[in-house]
Amino acid sequence: MLRRLDLRDTVPSAADVRRLLPRAAVDVDVAVDAVRPICEDVRTRGDAAVLDAAARFDGVRPASLRVPRAALAAAAEALDPAVRDALVEAIRRSRVVHRAQLREPVTIEVGPGLTVTERWVPVERVGLYVPGGRVAYPSSVVMNVVPAQEAGVGSLAVFSPPQRDNDGLPHPVVLGACALLGIDEVYAAGGAQAVAMAAYGTESCRGVDVITGPGNVYVTAAKRLVRGVVGVDAEAGPTEVAILADATADPTFVAADLIAQAEHDPMAACLLVTSSVELADAVDIELGKQVPATRHRERVEESLAGQGAVAIVADVDAGLAVVDGWAAEHLEIHTADAGAVAARVRHAGAVFVGPHAPVPLGDYLAGSNHVLPTGGTARHSSGLAVATFQRQVHVVESTRDALRAVAPRLAALAGAEDLTAHSDAVEARFR
């Protein structure tokens, strides 16, 4: 069922891996051209432009962009008890992990009388995007809101598309999750228009400093367009999983995990890298059994046919080179001594170790964040975290004697750069 690549005779470079192994083609640059007029319209016309875009793209014009507090309270009250319980536990676990990421100020004594203190200061206001197209993602509310709250952000606004089946409000479970987290500023806005609304501000919504959260290619393009006006997190494209496995892996588990990722999106990428041809054969057999029985069979089949593959490698070391080159959003390790293998991974958004840590655990209840870099950007970007919502500030303190001690060297460097007023500003203190 999966396209097979035999890489046993070579260890491809990272560039070769990116060329050979499948990912959906997503041209963000083309999408930027498509969303530019939408974003400009929102910048100039504000709420009216957002409402017009909702009618055009979502098929509904909300009665108001800001969700009434009564609707949030009603959504929380209407949550299925099992869903409420799961959300409460997901929030608790996420707080445990993200609270541990907080950094205390550190003061470094550079020399006698001279210190540099490193402080982490939360941004003032953030916009958190929660998708709502093919399915609703209340878990993404948790993943966006909790690290921002733990970072100390004082003002949070959530944006999620209006639903025709919910009177122009975002999905009720998304609203319920917001209420459980104490978020009362929620906007029925999705797509590029929501990103522009957050970045530029409108009559009903004050502009933000940072925008985070996954979305489709148009959301990603809009985030790229407003980068610089506001800070944004890593660009999130179609979801993906890589599974590094050897002969000890259970093919039932591997097949189930590939299907779970393919269920997200027909453009999802699903890669198995294994040193065992027997395992690859067994996984194909399992896919043949499991795919027909899965609820979203058509979506899964499209994903696996389009962006599914098995790479056969000589050994686990060669497999590590392949998965590092691909730099997956999610990487599962199904090998002997999986912990030691996982410790050698350099490029992945998140790593899941062993047969009982599947990606869905991270999606919901591991406490880790599931907003992760895709499309190979895990080579240089990280997942959403407390640090996303904070700025590093250096505070410099110096005594008179400490300044005098460095004055000659400062003057030498200022002279080399022909910035003599720099050294004059220091000398003025000793005349």
Residues annotated catalytic, as ranges: 329-330
The CA–CA distances, whole Å, from 320 to 28, 129, 314, 346, 417 equal 29, 33, 11, 9, 47
SS3 state at 109 = strand
Query: How far apart are the C-alpha atoms of 274 and 431, rounded to whole Å?
Result: 72
C-beta separation of 218 from 31 below 8 A: yes
Cα 347–Cα 349–Cα 354 angle in degrees, nearest 5? 90
Contacts of 428 (CB under 8 A, 6+ apart): none
Phi, psi of 276 (to 5 degrees): -120, 110
Name the region of 139 (left: φ>0; alpha: ψ -120 to 50; beta: rest). alpha
Query: How far apart are the C-alpha atoms of 39 and 220, rounded to whole Å?
Result: 13
Nearest to 214 by CA among 42, 350, 323, 373: 373
Query: How far apart are the C-alpha atoms of 72 and 172, rounded to whole Å?
Result: 8
Nearest to 185 by CA among 298, 75, 284, 66: 66
Query: How far apart are the C-alpha atoms of 326 and 334, rounded to whole Å?
Result: 17
Element (DSSP H or E) covering residue 143: helix 138-151
How many CB atoms sit inside 10 A of residue 225's CB? 23
Cα 42–Cα 164–Cα 144 angle in degrees, nearest 5? 60
Residue with tokens 């496995």: 245
DSSP H stretches of helix in 272-428 = 277-290, 297-307, 316-326, 338-342, 359-364, 400-416, 420-427
